[in-house]
Structure 1
Amino acid sequence: MNTRNPFRPVDETARELALDLIAQARFAALAVVHPDNGLPSISRIALATDSVGWPLTLISDLAEHSRALEANPACALLIGEPADKGDPLTHPRLTLHCTARPIPRATEEHTALRARYLSQRPKAGLYVDFADFRFVRFEIVDGLLNGGFGKAWKMTREDLCPPSDQRTT
């Protein structure tokens, strides 16, 4: 058994890379546990950030991943896409382990997130107010950052909190 630790100590470079990946992400792969069979399932979702830089999406209640998140809010996001050229494994990517938190409609939080989301994803204006769509904020538990070959970091929630984030929960 190989007991060698592949992770580097988290430093400011790793923090900046992870926060940049979150801030620049337009979409992500969302991993959930399927409620019917307990198997993992993955979907592509649009992604934006809330006012302090945490991941946010707008999803339909009709989507299978919505039902899965209702049954079990534990999920993971994979953020980061390879460039058009080169080995895809040399490009940075970030796995975030999260808890999905749906945002109730008719709240101040929903109103603020709606404005924020539409400023980042204006085409969502076509469906943002449909009755089956709702915002989901992803509360980060921890993450795994891969900066390319030989560059891996295991990151805590605190490592992934934007500097302006004052969250206590």
Structure 2
Amino acid sequence: MMDKTGAAWQARALLRRAGTATLATQRDGQPFASLVTPAAAPDLSPLLWLSSLSEHTRQLRNEPRCALLIQDEPTDSNPQTAPRVTVTGVAEPVEADHIPALKARWLALHPYAAAYANFADFTLWRIRIGGALLVGGFAAAHRLRPADLLPSPASVAAIAAAEPSILGHMNEEHEDVLENMAIALGRQRPGAWRMVAADVDGCDLMGPEARRCRIAFALPVVDAASMRDALVAAAEEARRLLEK
């Protein structure tokens, strides 16, 4: 049976690799659900690029309490075997001084959105996580508090500071390693793969036809040195799998 640490790690992995989610909002007590495209901020907060013309955005401005459901693929024909996590929290527009970096991160994970990224009616929002419920499969539920789920702020800050140099080094010096990781660890097709984001839990690669590949680490990293160790371990694992 999975313990709370394992449940938190699985929930974080689901949040980090999610490309779509269901957002639940409300108006005058009437629930409303919509499809959104989140990207996890370095601190795990879900980021949403929302139009002010959308019903869910108008509802969030009136009532910021909301929920976000992220669902993985089922393990067999029973849909209830799909791992999923629901996070509850409060949505808010991102502060102006944080928008450039977080918008760049969101676009790095959703490059197709560049066509409307500068429309005047769009704003970047974040959900401040207040709790989560992980269902790891059929009858496998775990309630998680923020203290259980969220990464260390010090580690988040350390990796965010090192991220530009990490991306530059991997993309300039290790294109072959990134391709190996995408193929062996991400089950993707060969091609030109680039690292577009890194965080305490792993990294994101973008490949041909804007295909995204999430590489999760075995354990969270805490600084640039442990990030290097995690990437070396991932590269060695990818090479081992490809040599079989």
So what's the TM-score if we normalise by structure 2? 0.60
Greater C-alpha radius of gyration: 2
Greater fraction of residues in helix: 2
Partner of 1:57: 48
Structure 1 residues 33-68: Cα deviation after superposition (integer angstroms, max 9, x where no partner)? 12xx42000001011111223211101000000000
- 1:132 matched to 2:125? The reply is no
* SS of structure 2 residue aligned to 1:82: coil
Partner of 2:193: none
- Runs of at least 5 residues in structure 2 that lack an aligned partner in the other structure: 158-244
Name the CA shift for 1:22/1:63 in 2 (closer, same or farther; >3 Å).
same
Name the CA shift for 1:61/1:15 in 2 (closer, same or farther; >3 Å).
same
Moved more, 121-130 or 48-57: 48-57
RMSD (Å) for aligned C-alpha atoms? 1.9
Partner of 1:160: 149
Partner of 1:43: 34
- Runs of at least 5 residues in structure 1 that lack an aligned partner in the other structure: 1-7
Q: Take 1:64 and 1:140, find their aligned partners in 2: how far apart are those partners?
A: 22
- 1:88 matched to 2:79? The reply is yes
Query: Contact 1:76–1:98 at 8 Å: present in 2 too?
Result: yes
Tell me how far 1:87 sits from its aligned partner.
Answer: 1.1
So what's the TM-score if we normalise by structure 1? 0.85
Partner of 1:4: none
* SS of structure 2 residue aligned to 1:51: coil
Tell me how far 1:81 sits from its aligned partner.
Answer: 3.2
Structure 1 residues 80-116: Cα deviation after superposition (integer angstroms, max 9, x where no partner)? 1334852110111001011001125xx3201111111
Greater fraction of residues in strand: 1
Work out which structure has the larger RCO, using CA pairs closer than 8 Å and 6 or more positions apart in sequence: 1
Q: Take 2:32 and 2:49, find their aligned partners in 1: how far apart are those partners?
A: 18
Q: After TM superposition, where is structure 1 displaced by more than 4 Å over at least 4 residues in a row?
A: none
Overall identity of the aligned pairs, in %: 36
Match of 2:61 among 46, 67, 70: 70
